[in-house]
Amino acid sequence: MTGWQTLLYKEVLRFWKVAFQTVAGPVLTAMLYLLIFGHALEAHVKVYDKISYTAFLVPGLAMMSLLQNAFANSSSSLIMSKVMGNLVFLLLTPLSYMNWFVAYVGASVIRGLVVGVGVFAISALFTDVSFFAPLWIMIFAVMGAALMGTLGLIAGLWAEKFDQLAAFQNFVVMPMTFLSGVFYSIHSLPPFWQNVSHLNPFFYMIDGFRFGFFGASDVSPWLSLGVVGGALVAVSAVAVYLLRIGYKIRS
């Protein structure tokens, strides 16, 4: 294997060796959300015509789990390497900054997709979910995982200890994820909060992903694609620049 392929393999193996924690745990958490919210609100909430609330939840929970785990993979790997002091062994290799970027983000995409598929597979046991446009599903899944893996890379480079990374995840990633329309349609919100939701890039990832299942969404999937694509290019440019200058990893 080449350098970046070896690093990618190492990063995939890192989370797969503890799959019970990194894959099974998030799948179980998503199932608890589905059982609790689906059971409690099934008869009281109607989002799209001819689509049950439980079916509406499934894509949102799958995408939410995908995004959170893609972020966790790259961010936790970097901060653990910093704290444990083994990052120096990577710095001694002839790997370029683009090799680092491709390997870390690639492993995050793989973990995110594995968790997302797991959530969807278990959810299919509880409700029927259609596939209106499978290509849209794959596009938003891969782009969403890449975006969050890149954001996790930035957070891992910035953070110097675990509590800083936890603060980033608790005060940035988690609120934006939960306020992105996972459990509701933004059309059910007051006008002010609808406008606020339109500023959240996580909303476009989940809304575009959900369109692939039902052919219905709160905004045009092309708009969602443009926003997610633009955000991915922007965060990728930042991450590549930080890796190129060795931000907080070469000093």
pLDDT in tens, 15-48: 999 999 999 999 999 888 888 877 776 666 666 6
Which residue did the predictor score with more confidence, 123 or 70?
A: 70
pLDDT of res. 225:
95
pLDDT of res. 34:
84
Work out the percent of the chain whose per-residue pLDDT is above 70. 96
What is the average per-residue pLDDT within 168-176? 88
Residue 224 exposed, middle or buried by CB count within 10 Å (0-12, 13-18, 19+): buried
- Helix residue spans in the chain (DSSP H): 3-16, 19, 25-41, 53-84, 87-91, 97-123, 134-158, 162-168, 174-178, 191-197, 201-214, 221-245
Tell me the C-alpha distance between 85 and 231, whole Å. Answer: 32
pLDDT in tens, 187-206: 777 888 888 888 889 999 99
Residues written for the chain: 251
pLDDT band at 1 (very low <50, low <70, confident <90, very high): low
Query: With 90 as the cut, is the pLDDT of residue 231 above it?
Result: yes
| Domain ranges across the chain | 3-245
pLDDT of res. 43:
62
pLDDT of res. 42:
66
pLDDT of res. 174:
86
pLDDT of res. 46:
65
Q: Which of 48-57, 155-164, 196-205 has the lowest mean pLDDT?
A: 48-57
Query: Across all residues in the chain, what is the average pLDDT?
Result: 89
Work out the percent of the chain whose per-residue pLDDT is above 90. 52
pLDDT band at 86 (very low <50, low <70, confident <90, very high): confident
